[in-house]
């Protein structure tokens, strides 16, 4: 029966586990920054890895996606791009788990296998990642300098500009402002020759945003002077927006609206102060919505921007959310209509993509939560099954041991009852034999005295009877039998009560064996009242109270 129940429980567990192991299709993002490798499945795995890094996904999910990419790389051993990209992502994972040495070794191995002429983008990514992963400051500086020299040598000026930005940041962290300024100037010159000043500003600002406050301030200070002299409105606007995104409070930051106006020293830049203040308003939507409304309203009414520009849309959106936060729905609806009118097709498409990305991220989060929950349920069920199995086995073993112990106790009790019965029979025969021999001796002696029997013949008969009469040895053997059934009784009674007679010891043995008063009276050829009298004397000798049991007291002397 227990086996059937165990099989039923295991079958139910299988019914639960099998559906939970089905794979669920995943939703992917549309971003793919790497050149295609020629293997669609590998590009999909790369896309998943890029999305996980962008959303700060879990390390477990990152490792699983890297394993998928490695599996595709093993299926296409001739595709060098897949092998190097697998090494790149493996190194990024090792960097995240603080295994810097292994990450650097992986990147160096991948760089040695890659053809820089045909796979320039991958080569740049690997060398840049190696420089970023290295923890030794001196070695990082040397790697960055080598990257600059290498890319300039092969004619890849844009990659060299990126390496120069990294080199400048390393110099700033080492408090070498002269070398940092030289590196930034060389990078800016490369981008200016390529007509990509905004790219220079954007990349330098990204470097600043990832740095500590003192380094970031140094970079911003250099950008202020450079862009003001060049009168590059687009780059300056980008700088202001990134500063707005980076600061916490306008008044405490060195480049607040007052500092911006002074740094520009040009009327055409003063209108950017209002935009800067309006963009900062988003920072206060959750903590102080009224302050956010005041700042955004001032920027909106200054007329420093057009409604359909990116700044106008952003500030209008702040106003909509601010009025909704303070409960003024009418004002929020007015700005919302203004916001919808200014929202062009391109912005709507960007918003739609953003919303879809959020939905995809939420769907993946729900999927991850469901998989985790199902895994926990499976683990819990397996633990329950193991506990039930162990408990059932333990209960069965305890039940079997209890049955065996009960059987042994019953057999011992039956043997004891049989031995006591045999002892009673032997005791009766023993007493009858002694009485018969005593009676015959008395009659023979009487016949010899009366002359009915010759003295010689009487002596022979008496000698024969004495041979068969019970002596000390037979009495000792009789007590040994009782010692076998009631171990140590006679010896312990004699030790505690030295004046006890053999008759009293024998009576104690009969009482300890559980014999009734009538059986004892018949065995000793006395009346039942005499047995009761002797029992009373024993109670007096033992000092028992009226409520104490004589049988229990005697059995205490049994070993």
Task: Kindly state the average pLDDT of the residues 176-199.
Answer: 67
Phi/psi of residue 227, nearest 5 degrees:
-75, -30
Q: What is the pLDDT of residue 252?
A: 37
Task: Kindly state the average pLDDT of the residues 28-50.
Answer: 57
Q: What is the pLDDT of residue 527?
A: 87
Band (pLDDT 50/70/90 cuts) for residue 66 is confident
Q: What is the pLDDT of residue 387?
A: 93
Cα–Cα distance measured from residue 209 to residue 215, given in angstroms and rounded to the nearest whole number: 9
Encode 132-201 in three state secondary structure: HHCCCHHHHHHHHHHHHHHHHHCCCHHHHHHHHHHHHHHHHHCCCHHHHHHHHHHHHHHHHHCCCHHHHH
Band (pLDDT 50/70/90 cuts) for residue 487 is low
Q: What is the pLDDT of residue 4?
A: 53
Helix axes 257-264, 267-280, angle to 10 degrees: 160
**Distance set, CA 540 to CA 515, 545, 548 (Å):** 20, 9, 12
Is the pLDDT reported for residue 310 higher than 70?
no
Band (pLDDT 50/70/90 cuts) for residue 43 is low
Q: Which residue from 98, 104, 114 is spatially nearest to 143, judged by alpha carbons?
A: 104
Task: Kindly state the average pLDDT of the residues 287-316.
Answer: 69
For 3, the token pair is 């086996």
For 369, the token pair is 């939560």
Q: Determine what percent of the chain is predicted with pLDDT higher than 90.
A: 5
Q: What is the pLDDT of residue 270?
A: 43
Question: Which residues make Cβ contacts (< 8 Å) with residue 490, sequence separation at least 6?
Answer: 479, 482, 483, 505, 509
Q: Hey, what's the torsion of the CAs at 511, 513, 517, 518, to 10 degrees? A: -150
Burial 375-402 (b: 16+ CB within 10 A, else e): eeeeeebeeeeeeeeeeeeeeeeeeeee
Higher pLDDT, 492 or 315: 492
Q: Over the chain, what is the mean pLDDT?
A: 68
pLDDT tens for residues 500-513?
Answer: 887 888 888 778 77
Task: Kindly state the average pLDDT of the residues 143-164.
Answer: 74
Band (pLDDT 50/70/90 cuts) for residue 383 is very high
Cα–Cα distance measured from residue 160 to residue 187, given in angstroms and rounded to the nearest whole number: 8
Is the pLDDT reported for residue 177 higher than 70?
no
Burial 421-441 (b: 16+ CB within 10 A, else e): eebbeebeebbeeeeeeeebb
Q: What is the pLDDT of residue 399?
A: 92
Among 136-150, 272-286, 472-486, the range of highest mean pLDDT: 136-150
Band (pLDDT 50/70/90 cuts) for residue 53 is low
CB contact at 8 A, 296 and 303: no
Among 160-169, 257-266, 422-431, 498-507, the range of highest mean pLDDT: 498-507
For 50, the token pair is 């890029």
Is the pLDDT reported for residue 244 higher than 50?
no
Is the pLDDT reported for residue 489 higher than 70?
yes
Higher pLDDT, 462 or 354: 462
Q: Which helix (H) or strand (E) holds 363?
A: helix 345-450
Higher pLDDT, 417 or 55: 417
Task: Kindly state the average pLDDT of the residues 144-168.
Answer: 73
Among 131-140, 400-409, 476-485, the range of highest mean pLDDT: 400-409
Cα–Cα distance measured from residue 303 to residue 318, given in angstroms and rounded to the nearest whole number: 16
Is the pLDDT reported for residue 331 higher than 70?
yes
Q: What is the pLDDT of residue 225?
A: 46
Q: Which residue from 27, 3, 5 is spatially nearest to 364, judged by alpha carbons?
A: 27
Task: Kindly state the average pLDDT of the residues 104-132.
Answer: 67
Burial 282-318 (b: 16+ CB within 10 A, else e): bbbbeeebeebbebbbebbeeebbeeeeebbbbbbbb
Torsion 121-123-129-132 (CA) sign: negative
Task: Kindly state the average pLDDT of the residues 274-294.
Answer: 69
Task: Kindly state the average pLDDT of the residues 274-282.
Answer: 60
Is the pLDDT reported for residue 8 higher than 70?
no
Cα–Cα distance measured from residue 310 to residue 57, given in angstroms and rounded to the nearest whole number: 30
Q: What is the DSSP letter of 60?
A: H
Cα–Cα distance measured from residue 104 to residue 336, given in angstroms and rounded to the nearest whole number: 52
Band (pLDDT 50/70/90 cuts) for residue 442 is confident
């Amino acid at each position: 029966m227990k086996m059937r129940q165990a099989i039923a429980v295991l079958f139910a567990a299988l019914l639960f586990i099998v559906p939970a192991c089905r794979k669920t299709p995943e939703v992917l993002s549309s971003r793919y920054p790497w050149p295609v490798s020629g293997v669609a499945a590998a590009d999909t795995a790369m896309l998943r890895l890029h999305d996980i890094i962008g959303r700060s996904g879990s390390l477990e999910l990152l490792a699983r996606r890297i394993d998928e990419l490695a599996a595709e790389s093993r299926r296409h051993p001739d595709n060098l791009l897949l092998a190097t990209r697998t090494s790149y992502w493996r190194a990024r994972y090792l960097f995240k788990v603080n295994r810097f040495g292994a990450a650097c070794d992986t990147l160096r191995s991948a760089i040695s296998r890659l053809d820089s002429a045909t796979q320039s983008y991958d080569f740049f990514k690997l060398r840049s990642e190696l420089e970023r992963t290295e923890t030794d400051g001196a070695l990082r500086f040397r790697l960055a300098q080598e990257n600059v020299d290498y890319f300039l040598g092969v004619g890849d000026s844009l990659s060299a500009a990126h390496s120069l930005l990294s080199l400048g940041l390393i110099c700033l962290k080492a408090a070498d402002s002269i070398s940092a300024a030289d590196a930034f100037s060389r990078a800016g010159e490369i981008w200016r020759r390529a007509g990509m000043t905004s790219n220079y500003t954007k990349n330098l600002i990204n470097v600043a945003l990832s740095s500590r406050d003192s380094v970031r301030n140094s970079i911003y200070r250099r950008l202020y002077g450079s862009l003001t002299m060049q009168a590059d409105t687009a780059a300056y606007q980008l700088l202001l927006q990134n500063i707005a995104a980076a600061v916490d409070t306008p008044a405490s930051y060195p480049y607040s609206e007052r500092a911006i106006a002074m740094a520009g020293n040009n009327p055409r830049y003063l209108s950017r102060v209002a935009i800067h203040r309006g963009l900062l308003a988003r920072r206060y939507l959750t903590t102080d919505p009224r302050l956010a409304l005041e700042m955004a309203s001032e920027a909106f009414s200054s007329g420093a921007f057009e409604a359909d520009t990116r700044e106008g849309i952003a500030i209008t959106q702040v106003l909509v959310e601010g009025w909704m936060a303070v409960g003024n729905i009418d004002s929020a609806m007015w700005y919302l209509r203004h916001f919808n009118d200014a929202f062009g097709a391109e912005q709507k498409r960007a918003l739609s993509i953003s919303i879809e990305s959020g939905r995809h991220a939420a769907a993946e989060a729900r999927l991850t939560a469901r998989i985790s929950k199902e895994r926990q349920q499976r683990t819990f069920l397996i633990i329950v099954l193991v506990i039930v199995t162990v408990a059932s086995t333990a209960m069965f073993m305890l039940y079997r041991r209890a049955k065996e112990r009960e059987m042994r106790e019953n057999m011992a009790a039956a043997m004891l009852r049989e031995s006591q019965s045999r002892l009673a029979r032997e005791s009766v025969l023993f007493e009858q034999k002694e009485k018969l021999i005593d009676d015959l001796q008395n009659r023979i002696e009487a016949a010899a005295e009366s002359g009915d029997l010759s003295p010689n013949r009487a002596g022979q008969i008496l000698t024969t009877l004495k041979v068969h009469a019970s002596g000390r040895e037979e009495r000792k053997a009789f007590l040994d039998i009782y010692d076998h059934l009631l171990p140590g009784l006679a010896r312990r009674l004699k030790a505690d009560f030295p004046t006890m007679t053999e008759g009293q010891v024998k009576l104690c043995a009969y009482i300890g064996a559980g014999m009734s008063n009538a059986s004892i009276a018949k065995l000793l050829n006395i009346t039942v009242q005499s047995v009761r009298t002797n029992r009373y004397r024993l109670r007096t000798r033992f000092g028992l109270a009226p409520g104490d049991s004589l049988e229990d007291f005697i059995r205490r002397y049994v070993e």
